[in-house]
């Protein structure tokens, strides 16, 4: 069969593949410690589930507008104003099938052959793949741990060409866990405005932030940057709603309208009754978010201490999200070999950094229980001290 060229240029999502493999091994009775996909281990809070059940009972089981339930678009617009200082009307919002789908809609609506998209590395693995699917070109800008894995205004300026259309920023970041300060965002915003490009701010981890780090949306830093910003967000991480698949985009009207047209021919509306759960998430009590954040904060301390106590590994302390990206270069192994051997020898599942554009690192998600973290760190330590690694 001759498949379309565009699919042959992309590979399946390795985060999803490794998570599925770890789950399948567990089902077979193998004692796996999985630090693979970034998926909170908490159940969705009860009041959110109750709102969804109520919507089902009330017969909210029909098609809805492709743009999303009006009540949810309104609630999102209010949230963006209240929490992020972004002045959007409900018409500027589209409800999508998750944060990933938000970005996909945006990139397909905006990017075509000849367009360049600037992506700082380490990056979330789906960004460049989406750009490829749209026929565009990713311009990867390498950042490093010494600079907190953050792109500098100089690096951004240097990467911009007449073909640049979009810059992708993700703070708190997957996979580094780093958070840009308001000053750093301001300096990047100045370059974006001066060069007149667009920026998509992926804020999916905004609720998961530590040590007093401040979550600021780049679009809130002035009218000129606001006009060039698109916000991508969703409910998966902050409210532990990964399987619900509800995300959203907010941005300039013309662009949002284009994504609605696209969605009307691809997925139609997001599951109607699920959207009522999302309304409850935004309008209900937020203690559940804080409780989960505090649990992540404790796990972060334990994993950080343990990782840095293992010979040959080092890892900066992340300020947000629920990932650690230790440097494995002193083991002499590259990320894929390291991850495969670790799974085979010690049944610990991690994501090779190569998936995020860095081959000297692995990514561990600590959105899992403390017992798994302790056990997994014991195994990782044994692996590092084992003959396999010592020989290399």
Q: Which of 13, 181, 186, 314 binds ligand GLU (CB under 6 A)?
A: 13
Q: Which is nearer to ligand GLU, 13 or 286 (CB)?
A: 13
Piece of 12-20, 146-154, 279-287, 374-382 that binds ligand GLU (CB under 6 A): 12-20
Site for ligand GLU in 262-281 (CB under 6 A): none
Give the number of residues in contact with ligand GLU, rule: CB under 6 A. 9
- Closest Cα partner for 98 from 249, 301, 268? 249
* 102 lines the binding site for ligand GLU (CB under 6 A): no
* 353 lines the binding site for ligand GLU (CB under 6 A): no
* 100 lines the binding site for ligand GLU (CB under 6 A): yes
Shortest reach from residue 130's CB to ligand GLU, in Å: 12
Q: Which is nearer to ligand GLU, 15 or 263 (CB)?
A: 15
Site for ligand GLU in 165-184 (CB under 6 A): 174
Q: Which is nearer to ligand GLU, 271 or 325 (CB)?
A: 325
Distance, in Å, from the CA atom of 142 to the CA atom of 151, rounded to the nearest integer, reads 8
In order of 330, 361, 384, the CA distances from 391 in angstroms are 12, 19, 10
Site for ligand GLU in 201-260 (CB under 6 A): none
Q: Which of 18, 33, 35, 38 binds ligand GLU (CB under 6 A)?
A: 38
The neighbour count for residue 223, using CB atoms within 10 Å, is 9
* 16 lines the binding site for ligand GLU (CB under 6 A): yes
Distance, in Å, from the CA atom of 199 to the CA atom of 86, rounded to the nearest integer, reads 15
Query: What is 239-302 written as a DSSP string?
Result: TT-GGG--EEEE--HHHHHHHHHHHHHHT-S--HHHHHHHHHHHHS--HHHHHHHHHHHHHHHH
Q: Give me the half-sphere count of Cα atoms (radius 13 Å) on the Cβ side of residue 176.
A: 25
Helix, strand, or coil here: 376? helix
DSSP annotation of 10: -
Piece of 13-21, 111-119, 283-291, 309-317 that binds ligand GLU (CB under 6 A): 13-21
Q: Which is nearer to ligand GLU, 226 or 235 (CB)?
A: 235
Number of H helices, E strands in the chain: 15, 12
Q: Give me the half-sphere count of Cα atoms (radius 13 Å) on the Cβ side of residue 234.
A: 22
Q: What binding mask, one character per residue, do residues 108-127 give for ligand GLU by CB under 6 A, x or -?
A: ----------------x-x-
Shortest reach from residue 124's CB to ligand GLU, in Å: 6
* 155 lines the binding site for ligand GLU (CB under 6 A): no
Shortest reach from residue 223's CB to ligand GLU, in Å: 32
Distance, in Å, from the CA atom of 123 to the CA atom of 135, rounded to the nearest integer, reads 19
Q: Which is nearer to ligand GLU, 292 or 384 (CB)?
A: 292
Distance, in Å, from the CA atom of 103 to the CA atom of 127, rounded to the nearest integer, reads 8
Compute the CA torsion angle 357, 353, 320, 326 (nearest 10 deg): -130
Cβ neighbors of 193 (< 8 A, separation 6 or more) are: 222, 224, 225, 228
Q: Which is nearer to ligand GLU, 124 or 235 (CB)?
A: 124
Shortest reach from residue 97's CB to ligand GLU, in Å: 12
- Hey, which residues does 102 pair with through a beta bridge? none
Q: Which is nearer to ligand GLU, 119 or 156 (CB)?
A: 119
147 and 106 in contact (C-beta within 8 Å)?
Answer: no
Task: Go through the chain and tell me how many residues it has.
Answer: 392
Q: Which is nearer to ligand GLU, 38 or 320 (CB)?
A: 38
Shortest reach from residue 174's CB to ligand GLU, in Å: 5
Q: In a 10 Å sphere around its CB, with 0-12 CB exposed, 13-18 middle and 19+ buried, how is residue 135 labelled?
A: middle
Q: Which is nearer to ligand GLU, 64 or 357 (CB)?
A: 357
Shortest reach from residue 377's CB to ligand GLU, in Å: 19
Shortest reach from residue 99's CB to ligand GLU, in Å: 8
Q: Which is nearer to ligand GLU, 228 or 245 (CB)?
A: 245
Hey, what are 164's tokens? 């640049």
Which spans of this chain sit near ligand GLU (rule: CB under 6 A)? 13, 15-16, 37-38, 100, 124, 126, 174
């Amino acid at each position: 069969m001759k498949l379309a060229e565009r699919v042959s240029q992309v590979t399946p999502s390795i985060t999803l593949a490794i998570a599925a493999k770890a789950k399948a091994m567990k089902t077979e009775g193998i004692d796996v410690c999985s630090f693979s996909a970034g998926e909170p281990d908490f159940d969705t809070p009860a009041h959110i589930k109750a709102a969804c059940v109520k919507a089902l009972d009330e017969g909210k089981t029909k098609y809805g507008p492709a743009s999303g339930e009006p009540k949810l678009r309104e609630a999102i617009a209010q949230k963006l104003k209240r929490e992020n200082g972004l002045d959007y009307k409900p018409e500027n919002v589209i409800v999508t099938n998750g944060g990933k789908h938000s970005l996909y809609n945006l990139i397909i609506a905006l990017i075509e052959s000849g367009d360049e998209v600037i992506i700082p590395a380490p990056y979330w693995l789906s960004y460049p793949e989406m750009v490829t699917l749209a026929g565009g070109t990713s311009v990867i800008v390498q950042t490093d741990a010494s600079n907190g894995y953050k792109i500098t205004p100089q690096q951004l300026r240097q990467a911009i060409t007449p073909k640049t259309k979009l810059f992708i920023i993700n703070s708190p970041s997957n996979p580094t866990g780093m958070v840009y300060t308001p000053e750093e965002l301001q300096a990047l915003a100045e370059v974006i405005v001066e060069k007149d490009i667009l920026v998509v701010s992926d804020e999916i981890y905004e609720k998961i932030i530590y040590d007093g780090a401040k979550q600021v949306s780049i679009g809130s830093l002035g009218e000129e940057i606001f006009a060039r910003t698109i916000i991508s967000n969703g409910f998966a991480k902050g409210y532990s709603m990964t399987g619900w698949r509800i995300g959203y985009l907010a941005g300039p009207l013309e662009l949002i309208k284009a994504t609605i047209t696209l969605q009307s021919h691809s997925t139609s509306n997001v599951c109607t009754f699920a959207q009522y759960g999302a309304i409850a998430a935004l309008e209900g009590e937020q203690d559940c978010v804080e409780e989960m954040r505090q649990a992540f904060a404790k796990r972060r301390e334990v994993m950080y201490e343990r990782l840095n106590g293992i010979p040959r590994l080092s890892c900066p302390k992340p300020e947000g999200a629920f990932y650690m990206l230790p440097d494995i270069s002193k083991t002499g192994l590259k990320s894929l070999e390291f991850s495969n051997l670790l799974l085979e020898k010690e049944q610990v599942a991690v994501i090779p950094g190569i998936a995020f554009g860095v081959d000297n690192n692995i990514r561990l998600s600590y959105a899992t229980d403390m017992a798994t973290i302790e056990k997994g760190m014991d195994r990782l330590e044994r692996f590092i001290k084992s003959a396999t690694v010592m020989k290399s």
